[in-house]
Structure 1
Amino acid sequence: MRFFLLFLAAASLAGCGTQGPAGFSSAGTIDPQQFMAASSGAEASGYRIGPSDKLSLTVFQVEDLSFEEIFVDASGKLQLPLLGSVQAAGLTPAELSTDLERRLGERYLRNPRVSVSVSEAASQKITVDGAVMKPGVYEMRGRTTLLQAVAMAEGGTRIADLRKVAVFRSAEGRPMVAVFDLAAIRRGEAADPIVLGDDVVVVDTSRLSARYRDIIEVLPGLAVFAYL
């Protein structure tokens, strides 16, 4: 619960100057289909490479510097020909691509073009709280859906309202929230969304503070992310 309270405190600071739902604006609403497409795995916007991630690295027209599979070591570095040890952990794939282009361009290649993608994310953390059997912080390995995240916490309690499961996340430094019907997802009546590292999942929104319950009530619909 401590992790969730810290998240909500940060969200409150970001929304400073508003008066609860009266200050809420849906102008930042994200289309659910757009969200589902954008969060389909490790290539989701803002993903930062971590130790033991498996990457695909391509240097255009230079096969000796290209790898279908290359692993970030435990210290967060890549071991590459010519360049040696290069820091990868903490960077997005785009940032790493830019860094490698700069390094190669300074000494070895003229106008190099580098593409980096994450083939498999080794581990990310997610917080599952609320009406679940074992609230806590869990390690995700690779692609993880909302159903799988809740299963990590051994599912909802007998009194949990699974029709209202909130997912809080930070996008470009701004807190966001969406509400999903986990019961409908289990029945196959709704898509099972991908959750991302550092998301906070709260089963049964009745357990949130009145301020956050009111904000959620004015969202334009279930499964729609909106800025807090």
Structure 2
Amino acid sequence: MAARAKKPLLALAFVLIGLGLSACANKRGGPIPYDVPDFVAPDAAKPAPPGMDYRLAPGDTISIIVFRVEDLSRDYEIDPSGNIAVPLIGSVPVAGMTTPEIQQVVRERLSERYLRNPDVTVTVKNAASRVVTVDGSVRNPGAYPTTNEMTLVKAVALARGTDEFSNPRRVAVFRTVKGQRMAAAFDLTAIRRGQAPDPEIYPGDVVVVDGSRNRQVFRDLLNTLPLLALFRPW
């Protein structure tokens, strides 16, 4: 009898714990500020696949050619965290770098353990100047073409909306302003209820929806930002 009585109590306890976790997860907070009064437009996107002075951004695709090493010679798309995954040397942070700088990093890493004086060439294959990247707790993360009237709600809708693990009250937008990577947080729930304005989203922006399964995405992106590069109220 005692064992039978414990089962409903245990079940109730698990339900209450689950509700408590859900309530804690679905709230505002974190290091990225909300209600930023001057969330300015990003730097003007370069109109064409650029030259050697172009600084790469998430969503761009580069071509790496390592002379006489076919397994390494291919195209690499920069992920939302600003990295590329290269065989042998692993994840390489390249966002904000030029092609000559990437060449030097890849050459040095290959020289450390694998190749002697490797001949490396890096070129920009596609500059994703007209796409917005939506990542985190959405149903279909990826890079999507932007329109002239793109907003945060529309950007999340392109990724088929938030998933069951999301915290829509904590959505970050990362963009480059005056040469610096910056970020601001938004409450998607308040926006959908008409309690807050729906901010404009620009080509090159990275939108990340917080969620219990995607906290690492937030941490990786925050690590790419200087402390003073967060948007803050003035």
| TM-score grouping bracket, smaller chain normalisation | 0.3 to 0.5
Q: TM-score, structure 1 length as denominator?
A: 0.43
Q: TM-score, structure 2 length as denominator?
A: 0.42
From the CA coordinates, give the structure whose radius of gyration is larger: 2
